[in-house]
Amino acid sequence: MPSLPDMTTPNVEALAADARAPRPDPAETVPELKPALFEGLCRLGDSTLVLGHRLSEWCGKGPALEEDIALANIALDLIGHTQMWLGLAAEVEEAGRSADDLAYLRDAMRFRNLLLVELPNGDMARTLMRQFLFDAWHHEMLERLTGSDSARVAEIAVKALKEVRYHLERSSDLVIRLGDGTAESHRRMAGALDMLWPYTGEMFAGDGTDAALAEAGIAPDPASLHEAWHGIVTEVLEEATLGVPEGRADVQKGGRQGRHTEHLGYLLAEMQFLQRAYPGAEW
């Protein structure tokens, strides 16, 4: 049904039509790019997969029914994004693997997610602060990817961005409410922020793979996302009476190159158990 133009969101029909317009898609036409593209898609899909799994760990244990449901819904969105990113990665790889194979049959050293998302949930303060720091990056990353020269990448970003707007709205609200809440909620949110801050720099540290994808117009240079991210984070943290930490943000990194914390192995042991024990099992 046609409707009035939506004033508050980009014109998604136009974005999508633009994304569909025939132009050479580097993802399909430049064979030399395929290894970098596969790597880049795994980085996106692995971060959404691992965070989606972490959030699903709250299912049935949330401190309030509404929070439990919200976290499970966000986990679903992220796992949906994973199916799209890893599905495209599997197509690009052309090795006969599926998105499920990539998710369930790779070992930790093959995972390319940010370290931030594999950290244990901790308390709700840490879960929500991690979510906010990630959402602010995720939102900016997807906005930039909607303009990718790869139509396949752009269409996934357009779809995912609609959902991630709600993620960022919710996590910003909760960070403000809890940061500027009781003495106890403030103390916990401040502690979570200090603990997580050294992991945030990894989101903006590019390497050769990122440079190749940026050069081809497929994905933005990660460093170019920092200013927008920092703007959102500063605004929300100040409103939350927490403020931006002064310590270095780029201390903990390596996840995007396959160097992980011990936590990822435990997560994969649980997530992959069924496919490892009963290969090919289906619902």
Partner 1 sequence: MVTETLADTATVWGWLAEVPDPEIPVISVVDLGIVREVRHEGDTLVVAVTPTYSGCPAVDVIDLEIDAHLRRRGVAKLRLERRLSPPWTTDWLSAEGREKLRAYGIAPPVDGTAGSRVQARAARLSGQPAVTVACPRCGSRATEKVSQHGSTPCKAAYRCTACLEPFDYFKCI
Q: Which window, 7-15, 28-36, 186-194, 272-280, contacts partner 1 (CB under 8 A)?
A: 7-15
Q: Which residues of 141-177 are buried (b: 16+ CB within 10 A; e: fewer)?
A: bbbbbbebebbbbbbbbbbbbebbbebbebbbebbbe
Q: Which of 42, 99, 115, 160 binds partner 1 (CB under 8 A)?
A: 160
State which residue, 166 or 272, has the beta carbon closest to partner 1: 166
Q: Which residues of 114-133 are buried (b: 16+ CB within 10 A; e: fewer)?
A: bbbbbbeeeebbbbbbbbbb
Q: Computed from CA positions of residues 137, 50, 250, 170, in that sequence, does the dihedral angle turn out positive or negative?
A: positive
Tokens at 146, concatenated: 């909607």
Q: How far is the CB of 67 from partner 1 (least distance, A)?
A: 8
For residue 195, count CB atoms less than 10 angstroms from its CB and return exposed for 0-12, middle for 13-18, buried for 19 or more.
middle
Cβ-based neighbour number of residue 13 at 10 Å: 12
Q: Which of 61, 162, 187, 276 binds partner 1 (CB under 8 A)?
A: 162
Binding mask 163-192 for partner 1 (x = CB under 8 A): x-xx-xxx-xx--x----------------
C-alpha angle 167-203-211 in degrees, rounded to nearest 5: 125
Q: Which window, 34-42, 93-101, 106-114, 231-239, contacts partner 1 (CB under 8 A)?
A: 231-239
State which residue, 36 or 88, has the beta carbon closest to partner 1: 88
Binding mask 49-88 for partner 1 (x = CB under 8 A): ---x-------------xx-xx--xxxxxxxxx-xx----
Q: How far is the CB of 112 from partner 1 (least distance, A)?
A: 20
Query: Per CB under 8 A, does 158 bind partner 1?
Result: yes
- The amino acid sitting at 277 is A
Query: Per CB under 8 A, does 257 bind partner 1?
Result: no
Closest CA to 116 of 101, 107, 126: 126
Query: What is the distance between the alpha carbons of residues 30 and 40, in angstroms, rounded to a whole number?
Result: 15
Q: Which window, 122-130, 161-169, 200-208, 274-282, contacts partner 1 (CB under 8 A)?
A: 161-169
Q: Which of 60, 134, 232, 267 binds partner 1 (CB under 8 A)?
A: 232
Closest CA to 121 of 186, 166, 74: 74
State which residue, 67 or 91, has the beta carbon closest to partner 1: 67
Q: How far is the CB of 203 from partner 1 (least distance, A)?
A: 18
Tokens at 39, concatenated: 């790597």
Query: What is the distance between the alpha carbons of residues 41 and 216, in angstroms, rounded to a whole number?
Result: 14
Number of residues that bind partner 1 (CB under 8 A): 50
Q: How far is the CB of 251 from partner 1 (least distance, A)?
A: 28
Query: Per CB under 8 A, does 141 bind partner 1?
Result: no
Residues that bind partner 1 (CB under 8 A): 1-4, 6-9, 12-13, 15-17, 19-20, 52, 66-67, 69-70, 73-81, 83-84, 139, 155-156, 158-160, 162-163, 165-166, 168-170, 172-173, 176, 232, 235, 239
